[in-house]
Amino acid sequence: MSNQLSTAEALELFSDQDLVGLGMAADAMRRRHHPHNVATYIIDRNINYTNVCTEYCSFCAFYRAKGHKEAYVHPQEVIFSKIQETLDMGGTGVLMQGGLHPDLPIEWYEDLFRAIKKKFTIHLHVLSAPEILNIAQISGISLADTIARLRDAGMDSIPGAGAEILHDEVRHRIARLKCNTEEWLDVHRTAHKLGVRTTATMMWGCGETLAHRVHHLNVLRQLQEETGGFTAFIPWSFQRDNTSLGRFVKEEATSVEFLRTLAVCRLFLDNIVNIQTSWVTQGLKVCQLGLRFGGNDVGSIMMEENVVSQAGANFHASEEDLRRIIRGAGFTPKQRDTLYRTYFLN
């Protein structure tokens, strides 16, 4: 596209003092993708199937080492009952993620996904690029074979977690053991080529420069040009409580920084249709403002979330809370499914 923002222009926008003007420009871009004055939310559940992890990311308060007294792997029955609760609440999907467990081979995941699909009609938005690379490594099979086998067992789409900031200078500092930028992109590229849609995320405010942040947006935009496989982009700000990185990042992002970042993301990522404004890290009031700074979706009611909440984000929201903030911002609220389809829901 010829009139796309350049990386230099995006950097300038981050320093632009005209916050309201920036919001209006992002709102206009949002309208190009979503002309019908609708904003969406989803009812789903985050199931953290294990907290065992080998990566020791400095921003994470969730993981436990194998053998730790709080380490767990949920048995299938526990996962089934969480899925049943989700369906009982009107949910349409589950987001299932864990730490990078050193011993679970691909068969463990295949058995689980097959068992879920046999019992329930539910969308499985599961794993993440680092988890998929871990499964491939443990199982000794290629990335493409890993994704194809997981897809055939019931994986419907892949969340964009584990991206943090897609620049290896930052990754080396905050998540040294986790996959690098190229590996993260490769998982998503491979998934898209195999017909599996994914989302993209950005965890910003972890001590990166604005140039790192723009680099992150640029590699996502390029991959979207190549494959068109991202359904949505979900940015959130680093939560510092209980994390070792929190000792070095003294202050969390302000509301203004959140709104500015959201607006720049909408303007720069003009080829990603859905952009989420986060209540989980920003609270409902700032999330609502985000609907006028480029966001068209407020995410999930999050029946269960352990990763961000253990790092200090403790906001809660019911379905009616989300519908109310959407209406208050001047939009019609609509429930969506994981692939952002609304036609069959209220």
Where do contacts with ligand SF4 occur on this chain (CB under 6 A)? 53, 55-57, 60, 62-63, 99-100, 130, 175, 178
Asked if 85 and 45 touch (Cβ cutoff 8 Å), the reply is yes
Nearer to ligand SF4, 199 or 288 (CB): 199
Nearer to ligand SF4, 4 or 58 (CB): 58
Closest CA to 199 of 98, 339, 96, 293: 339
Nearer to ligand SF4, 227 or 306 (CB): 306
For residue 61, the minimal CB distance to ligand SF4 (Å) is 8
Nearer to ligand SF4, 170 or 325 (CB): 170
Nearer to ligand SF4, 149 or 178 (CB): 178
194 contact partners, CB below 8 Å, separation of at least 6 = 144, 147, 148, 151
Cα torsion 316, 235, 21, 33 to 10°: value is -100
For residue 35, the minimal CB distance to ligand SF4 (Å) is 37
**Helices 143-153 and 129-139: angle between axes, nearest 10 degrees:** 110
For residue 252, the minimal CB distance to ligand SF4 (Å) is 17
Nearer to ligand SF4, 271 or 306 (CB): 306
Closest CA to 30 of 244, 263, 200: 263
For residue 56, the minimal CB distance to ligand SF4 (Å) is 6
For residue 126, the minimal CB distance to ligand SF4 (Å) is 14
For residue 128, the minimal CB distance to ligand SF4 (Å) is 8
For the record, the structure tokens of 41 come out as: 């939310």
Task: HSE, CB side, 13 Å, CA atoms: give it for residue 249.
Answer: 22
Residue type, position 235, single letter = P
φ and ψ of 79, to 5 deg:
-65, -40
Closest CA to 159 of 195, 138, 132, 128: 128
